[in-house]
Structure 1
Amino acid sequence: MKVLVAVKRVIDYNVKVRVKADQSDVDLANVKMALNPFCEIAVEEAVRLKEQNHADEVVVVSIGPKAVQEQLRTALALGADRAIQVETDSMPDSLSVAKLLKEVIAKEEPDLVILGKQSIDADNNQTGQMLGALTGMPQGTFASKLVVEDSAVSVTREVDGGLQTLRLKLPAIVTTDLRLNEPRYASLPNIMKAKRKPLDVMSTDDLGVTVGSKVELLKVETPPERSAGVKVADVAELVDKLKNEAKVL
């Protein structure tokens, strides 16, 4: 079984995000970038499937400029076998990403496609669902457990009412939630080995997809600072403040 994992380059979640002075976008100058945490979970799950002899090959793909190769090498160090970069200088929207991934799937013919449920920069939570619609493949989103069963995969997903288990016939698409697993750290020997693993580069023209975005960014603002909390002496005072000051009761 071949597993294809889509990953994204984002600002490291430990970094405090800065907004440009003109509020046109987030300031990326000299900012540490990293593998999107949900994508890291997707890579970990694919590697575990290979370690359990359910998968023969794990392929990672990312869309973006040459800089995304850093995150692809990270995924290779975590255990992926080879990588694909779809090179583009512009930032495509979720639909364009889904269209590009559809063409990559057509070329690679994976049995299972795993994506993080969302990226921590845009937080759209759209690409996996759009990819499922474009390919016609069955999909299981927000997966907290994944079990391969012969020619199918059992996906336990988190929904508002609790947990729901789906059985998807392969090939299928799965998006990962935080509770699916805990990603490993890349060891130094694996980081060195990752430099020698194959990384192919293709363009959007190679895939026959015109990249664009129907989303217009108008302005970026930092969230307002939270006011300091206050201590109350007893429950009566708490209720009084909630009723007369906060106006929530």
Structure 2
Amino acid sequence: MAEPLITLTTDFGYSAPYVSVMKGVIYALCPSARVVDLTHAIAPQNIRQAAYFLATAVPYFPAGTIHVCVVDPGVGTERAALYTQVDGQHLFGPDNGLFTLLWRQAREPPLVRRLTEARFWRPVVSATFHGRDIFAPAAAHLARGVPPEELGPLHPHPVQLAVQPAVCTSTACEGEIQAVDDFGNLITNIPAAQVPQLPSLVTIGSRPPLRLPWVRTYGDAPPGTLVSLFSSDGYFEIALVQGNAARQLQVSPGECVRLTWQPSSL
């Protein structure tokens, strides 16, 4: 690859020097690389949010793209450092469940390796900055043509997040809030393809059931209306038109969601 594409996803924020340092490490080893920031606004240590972000964004990149992903509350501990190949994408990051959703939606079996070859790292490895000292240089070496098998051995049992898959029957669907976006929209893990008809009731956690109007898009209802719709990435979503549903309902990712239909309407 004449101009390899390397993306960065972290929880480092935009004011600290950490992201710039990682870019410097990559460019020093692979000056021809194009380094693209996906986001550095993942909430600190929020592995679940990062997993959703990666599973949504990474598949849109061209095959062969290299992704460095650092949301790493266990940095410096015994947790493994990983390289994984998922449907033609190459990813580096900690073994903490960060790639769970990408692996689960993969079309082909993912390949996972543990990074053990220190010759592809920086000479001195900090206990608190593996993004700079392990993941960025390993990604740059891959971009320069180092074969993945030289990075380390296969890692057959990586850590995966405990994610409750959506389950649908003829009268109900059960899932969970997998993400809250910056608009406060509640994005569930219930795929649109599994929803047989528009729900009569939507129940979040132990709250009272809601009767939400169904819309095709947000502008189909007046401002301030709680609505249900399918998100742009194909999941059942709850939104507050021109408002923040998460704030109004006081809902967080991980809470259970139940969609129900009246038996007589089937």
Q: Give the structure, 1 or 2, with the largest relative contact order (CA under 8 Å, sep 6 or more).
A: 1
TM beyond 0.5: no
TM-score, normalising length: structure 1: 0.34
